[in-house]
Structure 1
Amino acid sequence: MKKGLYALFALFCLSFTAKAQIALTYDDTLICRGAEITMGASVTGQVNSLSSDDYFTAEIIDIGFPFQYFGTTYTQCVISGNNFISFNTALAGMGSSWVYNTAIGNGQLNKAVMLAFQDLYLPAGGTLKYQTFGTPGSRKFVVEFCEVPKFFGTCTQFKVTNQVILYEGTNIIEFHTTNMPGSPGCPSTNATANAVQGIRDVTGGVTQEIFTPGRAPADMWGNTGGQNTSRRYTPSTGTGPAYTVDSIAYDPWQIIEQVNNGLLHWYDANGNLLAQGPTLTTTVSNPPSPAPSTFFVVEYTGPAGCNNTANFTFRDTVVVRFSDIKTYVNAEMCAGSTYDFYGRTLFSPGVYDTTFLSQIGCDSVVILTLGINPLPAANITNADKRAKICSGDRFIFAAEKGNGYQYQWYKDDLAIPGAVQDTFGATAAGVYKVEATTNKGCKKMSAPVELVIAPNPTVKINYFSSNDICALDTVELKAMATGSNLEYIWSPDAYFRRTPGNAKAAEVKAIIPQSGYVYVKVFNNDLCSATDSLFIKAEPCCDMTMPNAFTPNGDGKNDYFIPKLEVSQKIISFVVFNRYGQLVYESTASGSLGWDGRDKNGKELQGGVYMYGLKYSCTDGKVYEKKGDITLMR
């Protein structure tokens, strides 16, 4: 029969009259319903045979668990007949100094827990007991001096009963003083051998010692004594003393030296007596399922404590659990996946059960409630199968968003490190996908989208005119480009607007109003583009050229006197005078034919020299004046 052991105590319905200290074969065990089980109990403590005066026990005593004392862990100790224990096991069997200062000097108190360091006299009577009890993790190590006389002569009438308890896990130390009679004049009350309660450690040359208030070396506690008092030493954390000392309720441990097996009684959960003695063998009743457990109580009523003259009742409990309890399991799987249920492959949601033998050979039923979680919507929302960008551009893939979704982007079936947002900017050609994961861990991969990189065209402006031109001159430009199905856009747009259809051709003419850049941007059939620019220097060219003679004879050649204007120049006023200063011609329009050699009344004037005056503007915004003479020839 296989049994699983667990740390669990259940309380019996009757009250305790003392601390439970029965050692059980099982505290908690797991069996099949209707199976037979044998339980055992023992309650015997240890009595040490030390009866010599001023000695340590020859036996090195196992504490029964690791105990930490001033930061060092110990598992063994020795006990001095002078009312203290030491973690220095090298002292085993050695003499124990009865004078406090002497014991300090020879190092016997370097790792000492002092119930009441004093000169006791075991040869005159009393007992020294110890016991380790409890379940792993919460065990106790108890040392008790029971009615041990003080030293010597008439002082042996003063008998000491006290106890120290070490606690596993918490590393607490408790002192319980049942009787510490005051004894003026006895060795334990003089200046060198006074009774002292406390702890002391010397490690690496560092001395640490903590005493119970009123029970330090200088307090003469052996003179005043005390009864039924308890103190607790609790390890501290952080800075300050290593332990704190508190008064607690007087509650010593009742050690049982020997037990009459007939005083052990076993009861079931209903209080029915089943057996007497150290063991109980029984077939566990089979309560209606799903009752998970039952329990049995073992009880001891008999002598215990310091001198075994008083009767105590101790009880402890064995919990017996059944392994065929139904186990309910809730599980979920993602849509489209399967769930393995003890060898069965499940595809759909629902409630399923199975029965099998447990590790200890019992029937066991597992009931599964299986749910289905939907897959995420894994879609790339801004592209379908194929996307195209120009070289050097970036395409921002966007995944369909979902509450609590997580994302991972892939390129050519490889996860892209760090690409875990709902968007991803791609610059390289390849096949892209996104995997979406819900907060339930369900995953789905999107359909692939191929990203194609289209090449950019190239372009260079060729300039066919001279490098220096006048403002508003017309220049010829040509875009030298590579690529197919190209379209050209020239700018600034106003420079090219005067030539219909001119701005979108490769070869164009531009009217340049001032120095600056002209630009061309070329697009291919993928709408990829390239740009070039050219700086053109355009001077104002405001100097005016005037003829010095004309022949208005109607032959169509040189019949008019008119300024030779550049495109950037405009006439403000143009006047001609005869030699007498009389005005014979006046014009304010740049578009007039000029002076035809007649006066204002249309009469032909005689040949000769005439004077003119001209005002005109230029692209630099200034007004210029020019004066001179003109020869009219007939």
Structure 2
Amino acid sequence: MFKKILFFLLFATVSMHAQKTGPEYDWFDIRVDDIEVDTRFVRDSEDPNTYIVCKGKRIGVKPIFQTQYLRGTPKYEMEPIPHNPYELNPLLNGGTEIQPGTVSWDDNRADCPVEIPFKFCYFNQTFDKVYVWSNGAITFTNETQCSTSTRFSYITDYVNGPIPGGHYRNQFLNTVFVALQHSHWDKNIYPFGSINYQVYGTAPDRKFVISFFDMPTAGLNPTACPPPVPYQNHQVVLHESTNVIDVNIIFHENCPAGDSMKDDHALTGIIDNTGTVAFSPPGWNFTPWAATKESWRFAPAGDCGYRTQFNITDSKGTRTVVQDCEGELDLVIEELTEIEAVLIVEICGGTYSESYKIRVRPAIEIDKVNLEHIVCDKNQNTYDLNIFTKEIKDNQSASAAEIAKLRFNYYSSEDDATNKINNIKDLREYPIKEIENPIYVRIEYSELEECYEILPIMIIKAPVEVLPKEDVFLCTEYTLPVLTNDEFYFRMERLDEDAKYVVETILDVKENQKITKKGYYRVYVKKTNQYKCEDVKSYLLMVENCDYPKGLSPNGDGENDYLDLTYNNVYELKIYNRYGKLVYEHGKGYKRQWSGQDSSGKILPSGTYFLKVKTKNYEYQDWIQLIYETK
């Protein structure tokens, strides 16, 4: 039946594959043919739906359909087909028996039409029912009411056969003749015979099958054809969507006639509603004939009832091309491109579609590769060119097996790369200098040697450096100085009293900014260049507390309970009494340890004491009053 949509890239003599994306119907039959074309291609060894071509090559993509049946029905074509009938006996396949209108079905039509489970097109008309005749005919109708059984008289008065020419009876317009006349049936006499119907498959690919099972012969000369003459068995199959009609003759006998000279004549064929267009197999047009296991197909042969839609997707998006009947797509492959072909069938009021996808990619994909690498480290004097190899491989969309077929060679000049001479041997430690280091890589695909790319590569060594910064300790407010050398303030962090942990991050930092809050700060200075190389240096800023308390009252009320020199950056503290005797001392790291005790921890008496303090940059001498107050 229909052939599934398959893609033929117009490249080589080879069978093709495509990925199924739409619903699958039995009326698409996959069959892949070879075609003669020019341009070479390779199918990905791990993904048969991906095709590899040379970049920039123009290709043709043609879906191949078996579409001889996706046609309109003003006319038909006949062809013999392999004999493969469905089950005839309703007791074996669950078929529904058609009840006769009278006891005798000798040339009778059933009272009620049989409903076809789908719309069926026949000679440009759409029907959903058939009347079934006991003598081997089915007539298309849209009648919904049952009517009195009709008896059809003998057809011996036809001249030259009813198809074509002759006299047509109105009862037999819009009719399929399975094996007309030569099988009459009386249920009382032949209780085991049957006229029945059955539905096979699922929409939109159902088959409506009407079977004439174990029908007795009629009108034969009993002397020339002595009983028992084998029963007649024949069948008609209506195909959904394609509107194909198959006639299966399992067995048909044509012994000499009996009372009438034409009683041994039989008819197989189809006729339209006017009696002007009809088809019948040669020799089966109301003549005496015999057949065993023969089948004929009556297939629509009008204009095509379908169209092809191409959906082409690449990095720029998706575009759609629609063409009548079989289409052919012509395009140049510059990057990975997904092509979906959709067969859209619109026949007999129904619309069905099936689609397939392939992917086509250049043998070497370079559109996403970064061909400029930056070295910011001033101490790096060599570069591993294998980094480019890895990056190019990482940006391929092919399978690992196909990527492994790429070959890489590096050259110092484009001419060397073109001529494949003087390739760079030591790829791991290629020497570089400031600023630019041009290199050329030649990439080849082993299975398509005509596909290669020569890519210019640039290694730029462009380090930057912030000038060295000194830590600042001062006993006053601090103004951030103006920077030179294209440097700028990056951020500033306020630290805890031990200058170990960040307690606040300040991002809005600029030149001439005043720092008045006492404490430790880390100031960051940054420099960048056009290649995004950067350097950051920091320095420690200590804004000291230059004020000393004049009084100390260690009574536990939370005020002036100890000598707080946390942000005075003390390196050494000595405390003397009024007689000049050293009573307390502390080395580097003093913060708030003294609360009126001597060096041994004994409480000193109230009075005036003298302080001697050394910081990183200064020495101070001052006095302090020690007072014990009751809370």
TM-score with structure 2 setting the length: 0.29
Q: Using CA pairs below 8 Å that are at least 6 residues apart, which structure has the higher relative contact order? A: 2
Structure number with higher strand proportion: 1
TM-score with structure 1 setting the length: 0.29
Q: Flag the structure with larger Rg.
A: 1
